[in-house]
Amino acid sequence: MKIKSLIPYALLLTMGMVSITGCQKGDLINNPNVAGENSIVPLSLLLNHITATQIRSDEQPWGYSQVANQYVIANYSYYRGNNTYNFGNTSDSYDILKYTLKLEQQATAQLGNQTNKYYALGEFFKAYAGIWLTQRVGDIPFSQAGNATILTPKYDTQHDVYKAALTQLDNANTLLSNLITANPTLGATILDASGDIYGLTYLQWQKVINTYRLRVLISLSKRATDNADLQIPQTFAAIVANPVKYPIMTGNGDNLVYKFNAVNRYPTFSLGLNPYNNFANPGSTYVSISVATQDPRLFVTSTPAPLQVSGGKAIGDFSAYVGSDINQSQAALLTNSNNGVYSFNSFTRYYNNATGATAEPFVFIGYSEMCFNIAEAINRGWVSGASATWYTNGINASLALYGITNGQTLTVTFPISSTEPSVNPKLLKQGDVWGTATANTTQFLANVAYAGDNATGLSQILTQKYISLFNNSGWEAFYNFRRTGLPALVQGGSGIGTPNNLIPRRWQYPASESAYNTANYNAALSSQFGGTDDLTKDTWLTK
């Protein structure tokens, strides 16, 4: 035993002596297994990394963002996490920025210009990375971020981050437009089949960029009249008015869709949630809106509350659908859920296929949302046009994602494992057919008919946008609530988990900022929040 234990030590000692001797001779060389600063890196490989990591786990279906959006509420923390809005320190988007800067550097070096397709997408992803972080915390290092010679980059104001990002998005559109103009066949050509996980054409990427720019501009609605240099309403109007110069999405086929497969499994499987539909329920915000408008999408995403059905209500009776109240403690939610008080999410749709084949696509930036953004802009007087048309287009595009047609018979299956007689008197197994409901889209569309370009109409736009974002687009539903207050997310109870039981207005800065960029971090806190990293304070964006 002792002899054996000496062998690795002797080898290590010998290796150490060789290493020291090598240093003394001065023949240090670069590690041949690691790419050097000036090495050539395949552009497709860099693009693949950026697109594959753009969407974070908490932004995917059933991730924490969907709890914060109040689409799904956990009733048992061990299996489904908690519901509290204790945001704490945010993660950052500097990994996206780092790889994007490398993509632009390599594209310039390898292709000899800054007018190529990779540089164009680099401009988009730079803007995306900056906006991703600034909308969470406020002022951030941006203009100097990624500069290897500046270890403590200055903080740019949120205004300046948005101004720079909007310019970068405009550059991205122009570069792709120039490429397509020079060679029109590129419009229908996949931009990079091996590097881009989304598999979009040149023209579709251009549409994504401009559609995303509309999202960014509408998110600036509170700053539309007091920041003339940003040209917020004017730029929005210019994009909508000129689809040749600024192509935008024209249907669901242009959506930026994150695809799941046998390797990249659907989140209910990859997050380990698959057996545990018992321990989460649809949120009351989502369910209440759907019940009030008789929305047939509710029959697809959710089930009736078992207690309502055992009490005699039909599967297709909207009054049988009851959402979970995030204001309550999880102990109370679990008791109510076990007793069949709340609805559940569809087990067959979301928990029965690891590739997500039975679920609606995960749309990260989509046509339906864009329609509602344009409708809102018209309602606000930014753009001329028929807001009712865009509003209805948004609803219909969302219905199409679920494959819902008028008069369609929708099968509802039993959602949980339960032998409690009051909850499951027929002793159905999870996934057994429970009954059917009929989709009446004609009645639904009549119920949500647009009220006009007024406050009621704006509320309708924002409410239907919220429903369309169900389990999609990451934190976008939360950002819309924070900006407009609509629809009103539930808060005020102990289940919210914050000191004042209210939903926070922002995240705290990444912990690395206070540790490694201390002076600039403290200056940013002082200029924005009176010196404390306060989650209850609004940033410039939403004041």
Average of per-residue pLDDT across 36-58? 92
Average of per-residue pLDDT across 131-144? 98
Supply the pLDDT for residue 31.
Answer: 66
- Band of the pLDDT at 423, cuts 50, 70, 90? very high
At position 433, the amino acid (one-letter code) is V
pTM of the model: 0.93
Does residue 504 register a pLDDT over 50?
yes
Q: Is 530 helix (H, G, I), strand (E, B) or coil?
A: coil
Boundaries of every domain in the chain: 43-72+89-254, 267-496
Supply the pLDDT for residue 310.
Answer: 96
Supply the pLDDT for residue 265.
Answer: 96
Does residue 408 register a pLDDT over 50?
yes
Supply the pLDDT for residue 4.
Answer: 33
Does residue 397 register a pLDDT over 80?
yes
Q: At what angle do helices 94-111 and 117-137 cross, to 10 degrees?
A: 160
Average of per-residue pLDDT across 168-189? 98
DSSP element (H, E) containing 434: strand 433-438
Q: Where are the beta strands (DSSP E) in 245-318?
A: 256-258, 280-282
- Band of the pLDDT at 497, cuts 50, 70, 90? very high
CA 12 to chain centre: 49
Does residue 16 register a pLDDT over 50?
no
- The domain at 267-496 falls in which architecture? Up-down Bundle (1.20)
Q: What is the rounded CA–CA span in Å between residue 286 and residue 488?
A: 10
- Residue given tokens 């040149």 in the structure block: 202
- Band of the pLDDT at 94, cuts 50, 70, 90? very high
CB under 8 Å to 254, separation ≥6 — which residues?
A: 204, 207, 208, 211, 367
The class (CATH top level) of 43-72+89-254 is mainly alpha
Supply the pLDDT for residue 35.
Answer: 62
Average of per-residue pLDDT across 223-249? 98
Kindly report the average pLDDT of the chain as a whole number. 94
Average of per-residue pLDDT across 315-322? 98
HEC secondary structure over 310-352: HCCCCCCCHHHCCCECCCCCHHHHHHHHHCCCCCCECHHHHCC
- Band of the pLDDT at 34, cuts 50, 70, 90? low
Residue 247: cis peptide before it, omega within 30 degrees of 0? no
- Band of the pLDDT at 38, cuts 50, 70, 90? confident
- Band of the pLDDT at 437, cuts 50, 70, 90? very high
Does residue 14 register a pLDDT over 60?
no
